[in-house]
A and B are shown apart, each in its own frame.
Chain A
Amino acid sequence: MAESFQEVLVTEGVSKCYLPGHPYAVKEVNLSLGRGEILSVVGPNGAGKSTLIQMMLGLLIPDSGRVRIFGHDVARDRRRMAHRINYASTDLSLPYSLTVRENLLTYALIYNMKKARERVESLLSFLDLESFADRKVGALSTGQVARMGIAKALVNDPEILFLDEPTATLDPEISGQLRHLLGSMVRERGMALLYTSHNMREVERFSDRIILMRRGEIAAEGTASTLMERFRTGDLEELFLLLAGEREVEVGG
Protein backbone atom coordinates (compact mmCIF):
# COMPACT_ATOMS: atom_id res chain seq x y z
CA MET A 1 0.00 0.00 0.00
CA ALA A 2 1.47 3.35 -0.98
CA GLU A 3 1.95 5.87 1.79
CA SER A 4 0.63 9.34 0.95
CA PHE A 5 1.66 12.47 2.84
CA GLN A 6 -1.46 12.22 5.02
CA GLU A 7 -0.96 8.67 6.16
CA VAL A 8 0.79 8.40 9.50
CA LEU A 9 0.32 4.68 10.01
CA VAL A 10 0.26 1.91 7.44
CA THR A 11 0.13 -1.84 7.92
CA GLU A 12 1.29 -3.93 5.00
CA GLY A 13 0.03 -7.52 4.99
CA VAL A 14 0.57 -7.89 8.71
CA SER A 15 0.12 -11.40 10.11
CA LYS A 16 0.65 -12.97 13.50
CA CYS A 17 0.26 -16.55 14.63
CA TYR A 18 1.18 -17.34 18.24
CA LEU A 19 1.45 -21.09 17.91
CA PRO A 20 2.39 -23.05 14.79
CA GLY A 21 -0.59 -24.97 13.47
CA HIS A 22 -3.08 -22.73 15.25
CA PRO A 23 -5.28 -20.14 13.54
CA TYR A 24 -3.74 -16.76 12.84
CA ALA A 25 -4.49 -14.10 15.46
CA VAL A 26 -4.08 -11.52 12.68
CA LYS A 27 -3.90 -12.42 9.02
CA GLU A 28 -2.82 -10.29 6.09
CA VAL A 29 -4.14 -7.03 7.45
CA ASN A 30 -3.69 -3.96 5.29
CA LEU A 31 -4.89 -0.67 6.65
CA SER A 32 -3.89 2.93 6.94
CA LEU A 33 -4.59 5.77 9.31
CA GLY A 34 -4.50 9.38 8.22
CA ARG A 35 -3.63 12.53 10.11
CA GLY A 36 -6.75 13.96 11.71
CA GLU A 37 -8.69 10.75 11.30
CA ILE A 38 -10.63 8.66 13.81
CA LEU A 39 -10.46 4.99 12.89
CA SER A 40 -12.36 2.42 14.91
CA VAL A 41 -11.37 -1.22 14.88
CA VAL A 42 -14.23 -3.37 16.06
CA GLY A 43 -14.96 -7.05 16.22
CA PRO A 44 -15.92 -9.81 18.62
CA ASN A 45 -13.50 -11.08 21.28
CA GLY A 46 -10.64 -12.94 19.64
CA ALA A 47 -11.02 -11.05 16.38
CA GLY A 48 -7.41 -9.89 16.55
CA LYS A 49 -7.89 -6.23 17.52
CA SER A 50 -5.53 -6.29 20.49
CA THR A 51 -2.85 -8.24 18.64
CA LEU A 52 -3.08 -5.75 15.79
CA ILE A 53 -2.67 -2.78 18.13
CA GLN A 54 0.20 -4.49 19.94
CA MET A 55 2.02 -4.86 16.64
CA MET A 56 1.37 -1.22 15.85
CA LEU A 57 2.87 -0.26 19.20
CA GLY A 58 5.95 -2.42 18.67
CA LEU A 59 5.08 -4.69 21.58
CA LEU A 60 4.82 -7.61 19.16
CA ILE A 61 6.71 -8.30 15.97
CA PRO A 62 4.62 -9.49 13.02
CA ASP A 63 5.43 -12.91 11.57
CA SER A 64 5.10 -11.34 8.15
CA GLY A 65 4.30 -7.93 6.76
CA ARG A 66 5.19 -4.74 8.54
CA VAL A 67 3.80 -1.74 10.34
CA ARG A 68 5.12 1.67 9.39
CA ILE A 69 4.54 4.75 11.50
CA PHE A 70 5.73 8.07 10.12
CA GLY A 71 7.59 5.96 7.59
CA HIS A 72 9.54 3.99 10.21
CA ASP A 73 9.30 0.22 10.45
CA VAL A 74 7.96 -0.20 13.98
CA ALA A 75 9.50 -3.64 14.52
CA ARG A 76 12.99 -2.33 13.76
CA ASP A 77 12.89 1.31 14.63
CA ARG A 78 10.41 1.78 17.45
CA ARG A 79 12.54 4.30 19.31
CA ARG A 80 12.38 6.74 16.41
CA MET A 81 8.63 7.13 16.69
CA ALA A 82 7.67 6.01 20.20
CA HIS A 83 7.78 9.58 21.54
CA ARG A 84 5.17 10.64 18.97
CA ILE A 85 2.55 8.05 19.85
CA ASN A 86 0.79 6.93 23.01
CA TYR A 87 -1.60 4.31 24.25
CA ALA A 88 -4.26 3.69 26.87
CA SER A 89 -6.15 0.53 27.64
CA THR A 90 -8.65 -0.43 30.28
CA ASP A 91 -6.47 -3.49 30.94
CA LEU A 92 -3.66 -1.31 32.23
CA SER A 93 -3.22 0.89 35.25
CA LEU A 94 -0.52 2.95 36.91
CA PRO A 95 1.27 2.43 40.24
CA TYR A 96 -1.38 2.34 42.96
CA SER A 97 0.64 4.10 45.65
CA LEU A 98 1.16 7.23 43.60
CA THR A 99 -1.38 9.97 43.12
CA VAL A 100 -2.77 10.85 39.71
CA ARG A 101 -0.59 13.97 39.59
CA GLU A 102 2.56 12.03 40.52
CA ASN A 103 1.88 9.33 37.95
CA LEU A 104 1.35 11.89 35.23
CA LEU A 105 4.54 13.70 36.20
CA THR A 106 6.40 10.39 36.07
CA TYR A 107 5.23 9.83 32.52
CA ALA A 108 5.78 13.43 31.45
CA LEU A 109 9.42 12.89 32.45
CA ILE A 110 9.63 9.45 30.89
CA TYR A 111 8.34 10.95 27.64
CA ASN A 112 11.10 13.55 27.97
CA MET A 113 8.64 16.46 28.10
CA LYS A 114 10.18 19.83 28.82
CA LYS A 115 8.25 21.78 31.47
CA ALA A 116 6.82 18.48 32.67
CA ARG A 117 4.99 19.97 35.66
CA GLU A 118 3.24 22.58 33.53
CA ARG A 119 2.22 19.89 31.08
CA VAL A 120 0.69 17.82 33.89
CA GLU A 121 -1.24 20.77 35.31
CA SER A 122 -2.65 21.68 31.90
CA LEU A 123 -3.71 18.05 31.32
CA LEU A 124 -5.41 17.83 34.71
CA SER A 125 -7.35 20.94 33.87
CA PHE A 126 -8.08 19.94 30.25
CA LEU A 127 -9.49 16.56 31.28
CA ASP A 128 -11.15 17.90 34.44
CA LEU A 129 -9.21 15.60 36.76
CA GLU A 130 -8.26 18.21 39.33
CA SER A 131 -10.81 17.02 41.88
CA PHE A 132 -8.96 13.70 42.33
CA ALA A 133 -5.47 14.70 41.17
CA ASP A 134 -3.98 14.22 44.64
CA ARG A 135 -5.69 10.95 45.35
CA LYS A 136 -3.74 7.70 45.15
CA VAL A 137 -4.61 5.49 42.20
CA GLY A 138 -5.55 2.67 44.57
CA ALA A 139 -8.36 4.84 45.95
CA LEU A 140 -9.88 5.77 42.58
CA SER A 141 -13.00 4.36 40.99
CA THR A 142 -12.63 2.30 37.81
CA GLY A 143 -13.89 5.22 35.76
CA GLN A 144 -11.38 7.59 37.33
CA VAL A 145 -8.56 5.15 36.62
CA ALA A 146 -9.67 5.05 32.98
CA ARG A 147 -9.67 8.85 32.78
CA MET A 148 -6.21 8.95 34.34
CA GLY A 149 -5.07 6.41 31.75
CA ILE A 150 -6.28 8.68 28.99
CA ALA A 151 -4.49 11.63 30.60
CA LYS A 152 -1.30 9.57 30.65
CA ALA A 153 -1.87 8.75 26.97
CA LEU A 154 -2.05 12.47 26.17
CA VAL A 155 0.96 13.46 28.26
CA ASN A 156 3.29 13.75 25.26
CA ASP A 157 0.69 15.42 23.02
CA PRO A 158 0.84 12.40 20.71
CA GLU A 159 0.39 12.56 16.97
CA ILE A 160 -1.13 9.11 17.00
CA LEU A 161 -3.22 7.93 19.91
CA PHE A 162 -4.22 4.30 20.41
CA LEU A 163 -7.13 3.75 22.76
CA ASP A 164 -8.26 0.25 23.60
CA GLU A 165 -11.87 0.46 24.81
CA PRO A 166 -11.34 3.84 26.46
CA THR A 167 -14.93 4.39 27.50
CA ALA A 168 -15.80 0.85 28.61
CA THR A 169 -15.80 1.80 32.30
CA LEU A 170 -17.07 5.36 32.01
CA ASP A 171 -20.60 6.57 32.57
CA PRO A 172 -22.41 7.97 29.52
CA GLU A 173 -21.93 11.60 30.52
CA ILE A 174 -18.17 11.31 31.02
CA SER A 175 -17.90 9.19 27.86
CA GLY A 176 -19.62 11.93 25.91
CA GLN A 177 -17.30 14.60 27.34
CA LEU A 178 -14.28 12.50 26.56
CA ARG A 179 -15.38 11.88 22.98
CA HIS A 180 -15.91 15.60 22.59
CA LEU A 181 -12.41 16.39 23.89
CA LEU A 182 -10.75 13.73 21.77
CA GLY A 183 -12.75 14.82 18.74
CA SER A 184 -11.56 18.38 19.17
CA MET A 185 -7.92 17.22 19.46
CA VAL A 186 -8.30 15.27 16.26
CA ARG A 187 -9.91 18.14 14.35
CA GLU A 188 -7.82 20.99 15.73
CA ARG A 189 -4.40 19.40 16.10
CA GLY A 190 -4.58 16.78 13.41
CA MET A 191 -4.01 13.95 15.88
CA ALA A 192 -4.77 10.51 14.44
CA LEU A 193 -6.87 8.32 16.68
CA LEU A 194 -7.21 4.56 16.44
CA TYR A 195 -9.52 3.04 18.94
CA THR A 196 -11.42 -0.10 19.75
CA SER A 197 -14.81 -0.33 21.38
CA HIS A 198 -17.69 -2.70 21.86
CA ASN A 199 -20.11 0.21 22.06
CA MET A 200 -21.44 0.31 18.52
CA ARG A 201 -23.46 3.48 19.02
CA GLU A 202 -20.32 5.25 20.10
CA VAL A 203 -18.40 3.86 17.13
CA GLU A 204 -21.16 4.88 14.76
CA ARG A 205 -21.23 8.47 16.01
CA PHE A 206 -17.56 9.03 16.67
CA SER A 207 -15.60 7.37 13.86
CA ASP A 208 -14.60 8.66 10.47
CA ARG A 209 -13.97 5.14 9.34
CA ILE A 210 -14.61 1.69 10.78
CA ILE A 211 -12.76 -1.57 10.30
CA LEU A 212 -14.63 -4.71 11.22
CA MET A 213 -12.41 -7.62 12.12
CA ARG A 214 -13.27 -11.24 12.40
CA ARG A 215 -10.97 -14.21 13.00
CA GLY A 216 -7.89 -12.07 12.48
CA GLU A 217 -8.94 -10.64 9.15
CA ILE A 218 -10.58 -7.45 8.02
CA ALA A 219 -14.14 -8.45 7.26
CA ALA A 220 -15.27 -5.03 6.11
CA GLU A 221 -14.16 -1.43 6.06
CA GLY A 222 -15.91 1.86 5.49
CA THR A 223 -17.93 4.60 7.12
CA ALA A 224 -20.80 3.62 9.38
CA SER A 225 -23.38 4.44 6.72
CA THR A 226 -21.61 2.58 3.90
CA LEU A 227 -21.16 -0.48 6.07
CA MET A 228 -24.82 -0.55 7.11
CA GLU A 229 -25.87 -0.09 3.53
CA ARG A 230 -23.52 -2.80 2.29
CA PHE A 231 -24.63 -5.37 4.81
CA ARG A 232 -28.24 -4.20 4.81
CA THR A 233 -28.41 -3.76 8.55
CA GLY A 234 -30.30 -1.10 10.45
CA ASP A 235 -27.40 -0.21 12.71
CA LEU A 236 -23.85 -1.23 13.56
CA GLU A 237 -24.98 -3.26 16.54
CA GLU A 238 -26.80 -5.59 14.20
CA LEU A 239 -23.75 -5.80 11.97
CA PHE A 240 -21.54 -6.54 14.97
CA LEU A 241 -23.85 -9.38 16.03
CA LEU A 242 -23.79 -10.68 12.50
CA LEU A 243 -20.01 -10.73 12.64
CA ALA A 244 -19.82 -12.23 16.07
CA GLY A 245 -22.11 -15.05 15.02
CA GLU A 246 -21.28 -17.96 12.81
CA ARG A 247 -23.02 -16.62 9.73
CA GLU A 248 -20.60 -16.09 6.91
CA VAL A 249 -19.96 -12.50 5.94
CA GLU A 250 -18.89 -11.72 2.46
CA VAL A 251 -15.45 -10.23 2.98
CA GLY A 252 -15.19 -6.84 1.36
CA GLY A 253 -18.98 -6.44 1.25
Chain B
Amino acid sequence: MDSPPSVSLFAWRPLAGILYRQVVLYRRSLPRWMEIFYWPLLDLLVWGFLTLYLKKIPSFLPSAVVSLLGALLLWDMLYRAQQGISVMFLEEIWSRNLIHLLVAPVTPYHIVLGAILSSFGKVLLSSTVAATLAYFLFSFKIFSLGVNLLFFVGALLAMGWSLGIMTTAVILRFGQEAEVLAWGVIFLFQPFSAVFNPVGVLPPLAAAISRIVPASYVFEGMRSLLTAGTLPVHDLLMAYLLDGVYLAGAIFLYSRVIARARRKGFHLKLGS
Protein backbone atom coordinates (compact mmCIF):
# COMPACT_ATOMS: atom_id res chain seq x y z
CA MET B 1 0.00 0.00 0.00
CA ASP B 2 1.40 3.41 -0.94
CA SER B 3 1.65 5.71 2.06
CA PRO B 4 1.58 9.48 1.98
CA PRO B 5 4.69 10.92 3.61
CA SER B 6 4.72 10.85 7.39
CA VAL B 7 5.11 14.07 9.37
CA SER B 8 8.77 14.99 9.44
CA LEU B 9 10.48 15.77 12.72
CA PHE B 10 11.17 19.22 11.30
CA ALA B 11 7.74 19.92 9.81
CA TRP B 12 6.80 23.46 10.76
CA ARG B 13 3.01 23.11 10.88
CA PRO B 14 2.85 20.81 13.96
CA LEU B 15 5.11 23.20 15.84
CA ALA B 16 3.03 26.11 14.59
CA GLY B 17 -0.05 24.30 15.93
CA ILE B 18 1.48 23.91 19.39
CA LEU B 19 2.62 27.56 19.40
CA TYR B 20 -0.65 28.85 17.95
CA ARG B 21 -2.48 27.42 20.94
CA GLN B 22 -0.16 29.23 23.34
CA VAL B 23 -0.59 32.51 21.48
CA VAL B 24 -4.37 32.18 21.63
CA LEU B 25 -4.25 31.30 25.33
CA TYR B 26 -2.29 34.45 26.09
CA ARG B 27 -4.14 36.69 23.67
CA ARG B 28 -7.24 36.84 25.78
CA SER B 29 -6.22 35.85 29.27
CA LEU B 30 -5.43 38.64 31.72
CA PRO B 31 -4.28 36.24 34.49
CA ARG B 32 -1.73 34.75 32.10
CA TRP B 33 -0.35 38.18 31.27
CA MET B 34 -0.18 38.90 34.99
CA GLU B 35 1.79 35.71 35.48
CA ILE B 36 4.36 36.99 32.99
CA PHE B 37 4.62 40.52 34.40
CA TYR B 38 3.27 40.50 37.93
CA TRP B 39 5.93 38.49 39.77
CA PRO B 40 8.93 40.00 37.97
CA LEU B 41 7.54 43.45 38.71
CA LEU B 42 7.03 42.70 42.41
CA ASP B 43 10.47 41.11 42.73
CA LEU B 44 11.99 44.06 40.97
CA LEU B 45 10.33 46.53 43.30
CA VAL B 46 11.36 44.65 46.45
CA TRP B 47 14.96 44.18 45.38
CA GLY B 48 15.14 47.59 43.75
CA PHE B 49 14.11 49.32 46.97
CA LEU B 50 16.63 47.20 48.87
CA THR B 51 19.41 48.34 46.53
CA LEU B 52 18.36 51.97 47.07
CA TYR B 53 18.74 51.43 50.79
CA LEU B 54 22.04 49.55 50.53
CA LYS B 55 23.51 52.24 48.31
CA LYS B 56 23.11 54.67 51.20
CA ILE B 57 25.24 52.52 53.51
CA PRO B 58 28.84 53.68 53.02
CA SER B 59 30.43 50.29 53.65
CA PHE B 60 28.59 48.70 50.70
CA LEU B 61 30.31 48.63 47.33
CA PRO B 62 28.00 50.28 44.79
CA SER B 63 28.87 47.71 42.11
CA ALA B 64 27.98 44.84 44.45
CA VAL B 65 24.65 46.45 45.16
CA VAL B 66 23.93 46.92 41.48
CA SER B 67 24.71 43.27 40.75
CA LEU B 68 21.74 42.31 42.93
CA LEU B 69 19.38 43.65 40.29
CA GLY B 70 21.29 41.94 37.49
CA ALA B 71 21.09 38.68 39.43
CA LEU B 72 17.38 39.13 39.94
CA LEU B 73 16.71 39.69 36.24
CA LEU B 74 18.79 36.68 35.21
CA TRP B 75 17.30 34.45 37.91
CA ASP B 76 13.83 35.26 36.64
CA MET B 77 14.83 34.09 33.17
CA LEU B 78 16.05 30.76 34.55
CA TYR B 79 12.90 30.32 36.61
CA ARG B 80 10.60 31.09 33.70
CA ALA B 81 12.47 28.86 31.28
CA GLN B 82 12.00 25.88 33.60
CA GLN B 83 8.39 26.70 34.40
CA GLY B 84 7.48 27.29 30.76
CA ILE B 85 8.14 23.64 29.96
CA SER B 86 6.66 21.99 33.05
CA VAL B 87 3.52 24.11 33.31
CA MET B 88 2.70 23.74 29.63
CA PHE B 89 2.87 19.98 30.07
CA LEU B 90 0.69 20.17 33.18
CA GLU B 91 -1.88 22.18 31.25
CA GLU B 92 -2.11 19.36 28.71
CA ILE B 93 -2.90 17.01 31.58
CA TRP B 94 -5.41 19.32 33.23
CA SER B 95 -7.32 19.85 30.00
CA ARG B 96 -7.34 16.09 29.25
CA ASN B 97 -5.57 16.84 25.99
CA LEU B 98 -2.30 14.94 26.42
CA ILE B 99 -3.56 11.74 24.82
CA HIS B 100 -4.74 13.68 21.76
CA LEU B 101 -1.20 14.95 21.34
CA LEU B 102 0.35 11.52 21.87
CA VAL B 103 -1.96 10.01 19.24
CA ALA B 104 -1.16 12.80 16.75
CA PRO B 105 1.65 12.38 14.23
CA VAL B 106 4.10 14.28 16.39
CA THR B 107 6.69 12.84 18.72
CA PRO B 108 7.07 13.73 22.39
CA TYR B 109 10.07 15.74 21.21
CA HIS B 110 7.84 17.98 19.09
CA ILE B 111 5.84 18.68 22.23
CA VAL B 112 9.00 19.57 24.18
CA LEU B 113 10.35 21.69 21.33
CA GLY B 114 7.02 23.53 21.16
CA ALA B 115 7.24 24.15 24.91
CA ILE B 116 10.82 25.41 24.59
CA LEU B 117 9.89 27.86 21.84
CA SER B 118 6.85 29.02 23.74
CA SER B 119 8.81 29.51 26.97
CA PHE B 120 11.47 31.43 25.03
CA GLY B 121 8.79 33.87 23.90
CA LYS B 122 7.52 34.32 27.44
CA VAL B 123 11.03 34.83 28.84
CA LEU B 124 11.74 37.39 26.14
CA LEU B 125 8.57 39.34 26.91
CA SER B 126 8.88 39.17 30.66
CA SER B 127 12.58 40.04 30.69
CA THR B 128 12.20 42.95 28.29
CA VAL B 129 9.56 44.52 30.51
CA ALA B 130 11.53 43.84 33.71
CA ALA B 131 14.78 45.21 32.22
CA THR B 132 12.98 48.34 30.99
CA LEU B 133 11.45 48.92 34.41
CA ALA B 134 14.82 48.32 36.12
CA TYR B 135 16.28 51.05 33.92
CA PHE B 136 13.55 53.60 34.49
CA LEU B 137 12.92 52.91 38.17
CA PHE B 138 16.43 52.13 39.43
CA SER B 139 18.75 53.27 36.63
CA PHE B 140 20.03 49.73 36.26
CA LYS B 141 21.21 48.86 32.73
CA ILE B 142 21.31 45.11 32.23
CA PHE B 143 22.63 45.79 28.73
CA SER B 144 25.78 47.20 30.28
CA LEU B 145 26.83 43.54 30.31
CA GLY B 146 27.12 43.91 26.55
CA VAL B 147 27.15 40.93 24.26
CA ASN B 148 28.15 38.76 27.23
CA LEU B 149 24.57 39.04 28.39
CA LEU B 150 23.56 36.76 25.51
CA PHE B 151 26.00 34.09 26.69
CA PHE B 152 24.71 34.35 30.25
CA VAL B 153 21.11 34.15 29.14
CA GLY B 154 21.85 31.23 26.82
CA ALA B 155 23.45 29.23 29.63
CA LEU B 156 20.57 29.95 32.02
CA LEU B 157 17.88 29.10 29.47
CA ALA B 158 19.60 25.79 28.70
CA MET B 159 19.64 24.93 32.40
CA GLY B 160 16.02 26.01 32.85
CA TRP B 161 14.85 23.94 29.89
CA SER B 162 16.84 20.91 31.09
CA LEU B 163 15.19 21.12 34.50
CA GLY B 164 11.82 21.66 32.81
CA ILE B 165 12.23 18.49 30.75
CA MET B 166 13.35 16.53 33.84
CA THR B 167 10.37 17.80 35.81
CA THR B 168 8.05 16.86 32.95
CA ALA B 169 9.49 13.34 32.95
CA VAL B 170 8.92 13.03 36.71
CA ILE B 171 5.32 14.30 36.42
CA LEU B 172 4.71 11.85 33.58
CA ARG B 173 6.07 9.03 35.72
CA PHE B 174 4.48 9.86 39.08
CA GLY B 175 1.41 11.76 37.97
CA GLN B 176 -0.10 14.93 39.30
CA GLU B 177 1.15 14.20 42.81
CA ALA B 178 4.49 15.40 41.48
CA GLU B 179 3.11 18.59 39.97
CA VAL B 180 4.41 20.69 42.86
CA LEU B 181 7.83 20.16 41.25
CA ALA B 182 6.77 22.35 38.35
CA TRP B 183 6.88 25.32 40.69
CA GLY B 184 9.35 24.16 43.30
CA VAL B 185 12.21 22.33 41.62
CA ILE B 186 14.09 25.46 40.63
CA PHE B 187 14.24 26.65 44.23
CA LEU B 188 16.11 23.48 45.11
CA PHE B 189 18.92 24.86 42.95
CA GLN B 190 18.71 28.44 44.15
CA PRO B 191 20.94 28.15 47.25
CA PHE B 192 23.67 26.55 45.13
CA SER B 193 23.34 28.91 42.18
CA ALA B 194 25.13 31.80 43.92
CA VAL B 195 22.43 34.10 42.64
CA PHE B 196 22.87 36.96 45.09
CA ASN B 197 26.08 35.92 46.85
CA PRO B 198 29.47 34.70 45.66
CA VAL B 199 30.26 30.99 45.86
CA GLY B 200 33.10 31.95 48.20
CA VAL B 201 30.74 32.67 51.07
CA LEU B 202 29.04 29.27 50.90
CA PRO B 203 29.92 26.53 53.40
CA PRO B 204 32.27 23.91 51.87
CA LEU B 205 29.56 21.35 51.06
CA ALA B 206 27.28 23.92 49.49
CA ALA B 207 30.21 25.37 47.54
CA ALA B 208 31.07 21.89 46.27
CA ILE B 209 27.47 21.37 45.13
CA SER B 210 27.45 24.76 43.44
CA ARG B 211 30.33 23.58 41.27
CA ILE B 212 27.97 21.22 39.46
CA VAL B 213 25.22 23.81 39.01
CA PRO B 214 25.62 25.71 35.71
CA ALA B 215 23.86 28.79 37.05
CA SER B 216 26.54 29.34 39.71
CA TYR B 217 29.12 30.00 36.98
CA VAL B 218 26.78 32.39 35.22
CA PHE B 219 26.08 34.45 38.33
CA GLU B 220 29.75 34.46 39.32
CA GLY B 221 30.60 35.60 35.81
CA MET B 222 27.99 38.32 35.88
CA ARG B 223 29.31 39.65 39.20
CA SER B 224 32.85 39.56 37.94
CA LEU B 225 31.85 41.49 34.84
CA LEU B 226 29.88 44.09 36.80
CA THR B 227 32.39 44.59 39.57
CA ALA B 228 35.80 43.96 37.96
CA GLY B 229 34.88 44.48 34.32
CA THR B 230 36.31 41.10 33.27
CA LEU B 231 34.52 38.03 31.98
CA PRO B 232 35.89 34.74 33.33
CA VAL B 233 35.69 32.72 30.11
CA HIS B 234 36.50 29.53 31.98
CA ASP B 235 33.35 29.98 34.10
CA LEU B 236 31.21 30.48 31.05
CA LEU B 237 32.65 27.39 29.39
CA MET B 238 31.98 25.37 32.53
CA ALA B 239 28.39 26.61 32.56
CA TYR B 240 27.85 25.42 28.99
CA LEU B 241 29.63 22.13 29.62
CA LEU B 242 27.39 21.42 32.60
CA ASP B 243 24.36 22.54 30.59
CA GLY B 244 25.28 19.93 27.99
CA VAL B 245 25.38 17.27 30.70
CA TYR B 246 22.06 18.45 32.18
CA LEU B 247 20.39 18.53 28.78
CA ALA B 248 21.67 15.09 27.81
CA GLY B 249 20.51 13.75 31.18
CA ALA B 250 17.10 15.37 30.80
CA ILE B 251 16.56 13.96 27.30
CA PHE B 252 17.73 10.53 28.43
CA LEU B 253 15.35 10.58 31.42
CA TYR B 254 12.45 11.84 29.30
CA SER B 255 13.06 9.14 26.65
CA ARG B 256 13.22 6.41 29.27
CA VAL B 257 10.02 7.56 30.95
CA ILE B 258 8.18 7.79 27.62
CA ALA B 259 9.36 4.28 26.68
CA ARG B 260 8.33 2.92 30.08
CA ALA B 261 4.99 4.70 29.89
CA ARG B 262 4.23 2.93 26.62
CA ARG B 263 4.95 -0.40 28.32
CA LYS B 264 3.18 0.27 31.62
CA GLY B 265 0.45 2.69 30.59
CA PHE B 266 0.78 5.07 33.56
CA HIS B 267 0.49 8.09 31.25
CA LEU B 268 -2.99 6.99 30.24
CA LYS B 269 -4.32 7.67 33.72
CA LEU B 270 -2.98 11.22 33.95
CA GLY B 271 -5.70 13.80 34.39
CA SER B 272 -8.47 11.23 34.77
Binding site for B on A (CB under 8 A): 5, 18, 51, 54, 57-61, 70-71, 75, 79-87, 89, 91-98, 102-103, 105-113, 116, 152
Number of B interface residues, CB 8 Å?
A: 37
Bound form: Cα–Cα A114–B180 in Å: 39
Extra A-B contacts (17), CB below 8 Å, given A18-B265, A94-B97: A60-B265, A75-B262, A82-B7, A87-B99, A92-B96, A92-B97, A94-B95, A95-B91, A97-B24, A97-B25, A102-B24, A105-B20, A106-B21, A109-B14, A110-B101, A111-B7, A112-B105
Query: What residue of chain B has the Cβ atom nearest to residue A137's Cβ?
Result: B95
Q: How close is A195's CB to chain B, nearest CB, in angstroms?
A: 15
A113 and B267 CA atoms in complex are apart in Å by 27
Q: Which residue of A lies closest to B267 (CB)?
A: A59
Q: Which of A82, A95, A152 has the most CB of B within 10 A?
A: A95
**Which residues of B, 31-68, contact A by the 8 Å Cβ criterion?**
none
Of A61, A94, A112, which contacts B7 at CB under 8 A? A112
Given the known interface contacts A54-B265, A109-B17, A110-B104, the answer about A95 and B97 at a Cβ–Cβ threshold of 8 Å is yes
Query: Is the Cβ of B1 less than 8 Å from the Cβ of A70?
Result: yes
A107 and B105 contacting across the interface, CB-CB below 8 Å: no
* Cβ A83 vs Cβ B24 within 8 A: no
Interface on B for A, CB 8 Å cutoff?
A: 1, 3-4, 6-7, 11, 13-14, 16-18, 20-21, 24-25, 28-29, 91, 95-97, 99-107, 262-265, 267-268, 272
- CB-defined contacts of B263 to chain A, threshold 8 Å: 60-61
A98 with B25: CB separation less than 8 A: yes
With A18-B264, A70-B1, A83-B7 in contact, is A95–B13 under 8 Å at CB? no
A86–B100 Cα gap in the complex (Å)?
9
Q: Bound state CA distance, A106 and B105, in angstroms?
A: 13
Contact at A110–B106, with CB atoms within 8 Å?
Answer: yes
Q: List residues of chain B with CB within 8 A of the CB of A92.
A: 96-97, 99-100
B25 x A79 contact (CB < 8 A): no
Residue from the set B11, B25, B105, B267 with the largest chain A CB neighbour count within 10 Å: B105
Cβ-defined contact, A106 with B7, below 8 A: no
- A-B pairs with beta carbons under 8 Å apart, 20 shown: A75-B262, A79-B7, A80-B6, A81-B3, A84-B4, A86-B103, A93-B95, A93-B96, A94-B97, A95-B21, A95-B95, A97-B28, A102-B24, A106-B18, A107-B17, A107-B104, A110-B104, A110-B105, A110-B106, A112-B105
List chain A residues, Cβ under 8 A from B265: 18, 51, 54, 59-60
Docked complex Cα distance between A71 and B3 (Å): 10
How close is A119's CB to chain B, nearest CB, in angstroms? Answer: 12
Bound: A58/B24 CA distance, A = 30
Bound form: Cα–Cα A71–B99 in Å: 23
B24, B95, B107, B272: the one contacting A96 at CB < 8 Å is B95
The answer, among A84, A85, A93, A110, for a CB contact under 8 Å with B17, is: A110
Alpha-carbon separation in the docked complex, A208 to B232 (Å): 73
- Asked whether, in the complex, the Cβ of B6 is within 8 Å of the Cβ of A82, the reply is yes
State how many angstroms separate the Cβ of B13 from the closest Cβ of chain A. Answer: 5
User: What B residues does A106 contact at CB under 8 A?
Assistant: 17-18, 20-21, 24
Q: Please, which residues of chain B bring their CB within 8 A of the CB of A70?
A: 1, 3
- A59-B105 in contact (CB<8A): no
Chain A positions within 8 Å of B7 at CB level: 79, 82-83, 111-112
- With both beta carbons as reference points, the residue of chain A lying nearest to B265 in the complex is identified as A60
Establish whether residues A97 and B96, one from each chain, have CB atoms under 8 Å apart when the complex forms: no
